[in-house]
Structure 1
């Protein structure tokens, strides 16, 4: 068990399990984009650890870009998405893979996909470490999903509770 601020969390997905699954996702990306130089758009802050491990396992020439969005307050999605740092890559005619830490309601991702598609990429795919199918309010097509989990609040491996817990090397669930 670990305590973060006023909450207690218990182990949920181990570092070893996460690393093994990330290697599998990277192998899929390597195969799917063997003839391409994809642009990875990493959604900050949460996806930084997942993205780092994922792109280290990708053996292709690629470009990396970042965007920062916010839609959470404490343990709950606010339902609105704010863009804090905008993306500056020219993605017209390019294959794009958006790397996200977690897709739960789908609201943030659907808005980001619309923004990316408005920039005329060749293709857009999603790579997410976690997906909560029960929480989905807006359909989102995700090609690369690390783990489908129940609709529970999790921290670690980039995911936080009020800014704390991102540095944990495994994923923990609210007790």
Structure 2
């Protein structure tokens, strides 16, 4: 698998983003809401770099299912979310691709009464955006390639990679061979 960003590059990008967030919020209390599941690695690293008083919550949003690289129907589930009414909320997501997921989650958080909503994403993918909205904080700009690692997955695999890798056709072929064989056992 081709490495797009190393573990060290990811750390530096998250540090830079954390500094921008700290500058924007200062000492104000912040509620950070992680969009499950892809952003959990980013969330863990990011909150350890922030010093303002903060609370952490999660919300589920899914537009991909199984072994797919294209968007399906988007669903948002806020059942796990803590009370955000009258709170400054920072939504943290893994990737800004078409933008539909982030727009829908922002709408949901606004419906739940957040005082303010800003967004932070690890990655903004070039050439795929279908909405006018933009994330407020971005770790990295990336080309239009399917990436895995650092929380991002393909068919629920590869989230544990400490780097960001590009999943190419040869990688997909190996993935399908490996997991097809394991399903037969």
TM-score with structure 1 setting the length: 0.89
Q: Secondary structure at the match of 1:91?
A: coil
Size of the aligned set, in residue pairs, is 167
Look up the match of 2:103.
110
Look up the match of 1:138.
131
- Larger proportion of strand: 1
Give the drift of 1:98: 0.3
Distance 1:140 1:173 in 2: 26
Look up the match of 1:121.
114
Larger deviation, residues 144-153 vs 114-123: 114-123
Instruction: String of CA shifts for 1:27-55, please: whole Å, max 9, x gaps.
Output: 11112112311100001110000111011
Look up the match of 2:147.
154
State whether residues 102 and 128 of structure 1, in contact with CA within 8 Å, keep that contact through their aligned partners in structure 2.
yes
Of 53, 56, 64, which aligns to 1:64? 56
Give the drift of 1:87: 4.1
State whether residues 39 and 95 of structure 1, in contact with CA within 8 Å, keep that contact through their aligned partners in structure 2.
yes
Answering whether residue 117 of structure 2 is matched by residue 163 of structure 1, we say no
Answering whether residue 4 of structure 2 is matched by residue 12 of structure 1, we say yes
5+ residue gaps, structure 1, are: 1-8
- Larger proportion of helix: 2
Larger deviation, residues 85-94 vs 135-144: 85-94
State whether residues 34 and 56 of structure 2, in contact with CA within 8 Å, keep that contact through their aligned partners in structure 1.
yes
State whether residues 96 and 135 of structure 2, in contact with CA within 8 Å, keep that contact through their aligned partners in structure 1.
no
Give the drift of 1:99: 0.4
CA distance 1:122–1:65, shift in 2 (3 Å): same
Larger deviation, residues 41-50 vs 117-126: 117-126
Distance 1:132 1:85 in 2: 26
Look up the match of 1:90.
83
Look up the match of 1:38.
30
State whether residues 68 and 154 of structure 2, in contact with CA within 8 Å, keep that contact through their aligned partners in structure 1.
yes
Answering whether residue 48 of structure 2 is matched by residue 48 of structure 1, we say no
TM-score with structure 2 setting the length: 0.85
State whether residues 75 and 153 of structure 1, in contact with CA within 8 Å, keep that contact through their aligned partners in structure 2.
no
Whose radius of gyration is greater, 1 or 2?
Answer: 2
Q: Secondary structure at the match of 2:122?
A: strand
